[in-house]
Amino acid sequence: MSNFKRYPSNETVAISLASFEQLALGQNSNAHAGLESNNKWHRKLLALPAYYWVLITQVLVILPHAAHLPLWLMGFAIVSVLAQLPLIKAKFKKGRRLKRVYQSMQMLGFLLGLAGLWLTYNTAFGLDMGVAFLVLCLISKLWELYKRRDAYVVLNLSLFVLAALFLMDQGIITTLAVIVGVVIVLLAFIALNDDGNTRGDGRLRTLGVLGVGALPLLVVLFLFFPRLPPLWSVQLSGQQATTGVSDSMSPGDFANLGQSTELAFRVEFDGNRPPQQQLYWRGLVFSNFDGVTWRPSAKQRQWQPALQSPPWIKNAIETIPDEAKATPNSYQIILEPTQQNWLFGLDYPFAQQQDISITSNFTLLKDQPVTQQLRYDVLQFAPMRIDSNLTEESRRLNLALPNNGNPQARALAKQLFAQSGSDPVRYMEAIERWINQTDFRYTLSPPRLNNNRIDEFLFETKAGFCEHYSSSFTFMLRAAGIPARVVAGYQGGEPSRNGNVWEVRQMDAHAWTEVWLEGQGWIRVDPTAFVAPERVEQGMEALTQAQGAAMFGDGAGAQISYQQYQVLQTLRRLSDQASYYWQKDVVGYDQDKQADSLLKWFNIRSIMQQITWLAISAITIMAILVFIIWQRRRKRWHPADLPLAQLSKRIGKGDKSLARTDNEGQLAWLERLAEAMGSKAAQAKIVQIKQNYRQLRYGYLSPLETRDSEYQKVLKQLKRNVRELL
């Protein structure tokens, strides 16, 4: 019995109530008995009618899109799936009025969905809009689920919706979700074509045959199919990832990020890695301060080094000693999606890519926001003098302070600066001594600050992390007339589990100060090291392990937060390691890596050779699969029947009437064959063959194993008699 019935072409919505309930719910005696006889839940699941499998498929196909689809569209999807449940759908078929209501809901839902997409995305184009429209089409098609043909359309459209997930994200979690979805879609296809199987027997075996046959072809296509550049490109999207560095900074921005083990980026060094205390990953430079928040200046210049070297870089490189100019530090950064266009690099970064520019503050900028994992090459020249001659405009920008606010910090700055003989270096040393002599502490859970944040931090709370120390230190330098600015980025990191790459996480987000000194240019000073030098020298991970729950505050809540941090960190590391290899070896398997691997393994040097290997490998695998299927499905003979089958085939070539028919027993056929033989010797030989066959199939030898010596002796006599008869 079919799970979907082919109705006449003039029947669209009006279908028989009895037939729908019988087909969709599986409420026939055989189906009910089949479900009752299966006690295990997975057998009951496999025995579900195809209609239910189609609905299950929609849940598993649409659910992974929840991260980027609008909430109203997910709500419409839930309502649509529930409306297709047989108990609900059957009620709409009772009477013409309810049928019209059902049709109106279908049309109204689609039209309102189109209007909702327009209002949500404010455009008729775009990747997010396209994926959402595809999901809307799938949801709307569910309201037309009546015939087997409709089910085929829904399942095929489901495969497109699953594939659209890769446009939003190409991570390993997304890939696993797509694999699960494809498996369920295949099971729905199998159920749809498995008429009369009320027990679901053999469906998993069919799925296994399809999967085993597809995997070798998948590997061959992955390895050998040419990675040709696309005719057009689509900017991938994904709103779930954010950066650990904001485009502004005020006390409190990094509080949650300090406890996050989420990966920010990975680094692959071509040579030796710099020491831990020198790993300052430069991001944004904050020069504007309104008394509460630091922001980048809008007056910084931009340049594309790939086209021409910026003048500020030329001036800085001229300050490098000759022995260091020829040996810049080269490394690759694999940046996770940030939805922002600024990049990170060691002080001071330099990238020669056409889509990456560099500002006069040595901030790397991508031409588009980073919406997918980005790999870029960076050079580091060190040591360099940056802005040896400071312009008046830059001096005013990096000395500017609000006219009012934080009077205690201003007074302290003037006092310490005067006591230091107006020497900037001695003044910074005096600030460090004052901080060390005062009860300051490093914590990830500092008290909240109000309006005069610098004063409250320096003279009241005296507890904070990098943001508090860099902001206050920069304020005091400016209050003393010394140009200074805040740099936000990351500091430190840790090696991966196998040690081949360097990993920087959101917990490594950091802020420090750059001070301009006469004759030296901009120099880095990290005031966090005044209080917690181990944060800089050993990294955030080492500091957290050393201080334990104290990093997260006081009391039982801090201990719970610390335990959660440790568990999440372990899970995150394992997940990140798997994600790293997936992105590097699978997603990142581009034409360059393909050329290197094929040349190394198969000595393939041209596209023509590559296509030849692809064709040969695909044909070989398909031939092997066909042979295996033929072997499994070919007719298998009992050892005693095989010689007689060969005898029938040989005799039938001369006279087809003498060959054994399919509904004719072996002994009856031998009897008929003996009557047709005119030779006494041939008839006598057939008598011996019949005697051997009876002993093997029905006599005292039939219970024995076919490998038994006595059994084999009689079987050999049978084969010899057949050969002599031929």
The verdict on whether 32 is a catalytic residue reads no
Burial 104-117 (b: 16+ CB within 10 A, else e): eebeebbeebeebb
Radius of gyration of the chain (CA): 38
Q: Where are the beta strands (DSSP E) in 553-703?
A: none
Which residue among the candidates 169, 508, 526, 576 is catalytic per the annotation? 526
β-pair type (463-464, 441-442)? parallel
Q: What are phi and psi of 288, to 5 degrees?
A: -90, 130
The verdict on whether 65 is a catalytic residue reads no
β-pair type (509-517, 521-525)? antiparallel
The Cα–Cα gap between 449 and 461 comes to: 9
Helices assigned H by DSSP within 264-391 = 311-317, 322-325
3-state secondary structure of 442: strand
Count of C-beta atoms within a 10 Å radius of residue 211:
14
Which residue among the candidates 65, 68, 468, 510 is catalytic per the annotation? 510
The Cα–Cα gap between 135 and 141 comes to: 10
Question: Measured at the alpha carbon of residue 159, what is the angle toward residues 153 and 164, in degrees to the nearest 5?
Answer: 125
The verdict on whether 596 is a catalytic residue reads no
The per-residue DSSP string of 572-600 comes to HHHHHHHHHHIIIIIIT--HHHHHHHHHH
Q: How many secondary structure helices (H) and strands (E) does the chain include? A: 28, 18
Q: Where are the beta strands (DSSP E) in 174-304?
A: 263-269, 280-286, 288-289, 294-295, 302-303
The Cα–Cα gap between 101 and 137 comes to: 20
Which residue among the candidates 466, 468, 508, 576 is catalytic per the annotation? 466
Closest alpha carbon to 666 in 703, 710, 698: 698
Q: Which of the residues are catalytic?
A: 466, 510, 526
